[in-house]
Amino acid sequence: MLLSALNEQTYPLDEMEVIIADGNSTDRTREVINAYMGEHIELSITVIDNEKRTIPAGLNTAISAANGEFIVRLDAHSMPDHKYIERCFEALKQNKGENVGGIWEILPGARSDVARSIAIAASHPIGVGDARYRYTENAGYVDTVPFGAFRRDLIDRIGPYDETLLTNEDYEFNARIRNSGGRIWLDPSIRSQYFARATLTSLVQQYWRYGYWKAKMLKRYPETLRWRQALPPIFVLSLIVFGLAAIFFQPTRWLFGLELALYILVLMAVGLETALKKREFSVLFGVPAAIAAMHLAWGSAFIWSSFQELVNI
């Protein structure tokens, strides 16, 4: 998808250098790349091996191999708009920020009601809080942007991506930019399509990774904690505490039941509102289930990761 999207970019292909970091893939990735290279000899494409098979390692290896002034990061599970690269360059040349990025149009990862529900949940404020790149149409300065584009010399000033973080490496990178006095610019005209996970199982696995590594990152940058990130672990912890206490104390059972009932009521209201608005009643229960999966997986992983850090002290 990323390669086909390059054909639609308005920025001249012969002025771009494409570096692809491949993590020892066993599918047809290399075959597809080679075929594309043969069809587009005007485009400079270099394939490098990401031996560590992690996102930050692949990014650092690719950046080291790049020769251009600007770095535009593009990830899997996404497809950039036809003016994505051009508008990233415009924002950087206008000095809007040290790192610039845009918004996601989140699409289903498969043709199913569950996948559609997950895509809706992944862009709903109840599901993702104030992560503006998932739903806003207003430009401005933010904490982080997906992927991002920046001048190569930024790496010389703040350092490369942190390879000890298997997830959340982008947020940590942006935290270092802000701590150095830099700015993160979000421009809604910089658009990309992001393909959400297709099943609840894969969604839970994804958000478990997010929560686990977010706790690791926050140990270094506790000041970057936002309310959207604090609520899921607080909620999960309250369920654990009230649930255990309910075994021994009658009044706690009412609190536990009330909290659970209110949470379910809010999620069902979101599901009903979404189904009516989109006229898709197939997502009535799927959206609440997806949001609950995101909250519980993220919160539980955050707590587990934090507990591991405490035990290791």
Q: Are 265 and 244 in contact (CB under 8 A)?
A: no
DSSP string, 45-98: EEEEE-TT--HHHHHHHHHHH--SSEEE---TTEEE-TTHHHHHHHHHHTTS-S
Q: Are 108 and 118 in contact (CB under 8 A)?
A: yes
pLDDT tens per residue across span 37-95: 888 888 888 999 999 999 999 999 999 999 889 999 998 788 899 899 999 999 999 99
In this prediction, residue 152 carries a pLDDT of 94
Show the domains of the chain with their CATH numbers: 2-198 (3.90.550.10), 222-312 (no CATH)
Distance CA 121, CA 109 (A): 13
Distance of CA 106 to the CA centre of its chain: 11
pLDDT tens per residue across span 132-189: 777 677 889 999 898 999 999 999 999 999 999 988 899 999 999 999 999 999 999 9
pLDDT, mean of residues 286-310: 95
- Kindly tell me the sign of the dihedral angle through the C-alpha atoms of 6, 9, 11, 14: positive
The two beta strands, 78-80 and 44-49, are unpaired
Distance CA 47, CA 1 (A): 16
Predicted TM-score (pTM) of this structure:
0.87
pLDDT tens per residue across span 86-99: 999 999 999 999 99
Of residues 9 and 115, more confidently modeled:
115
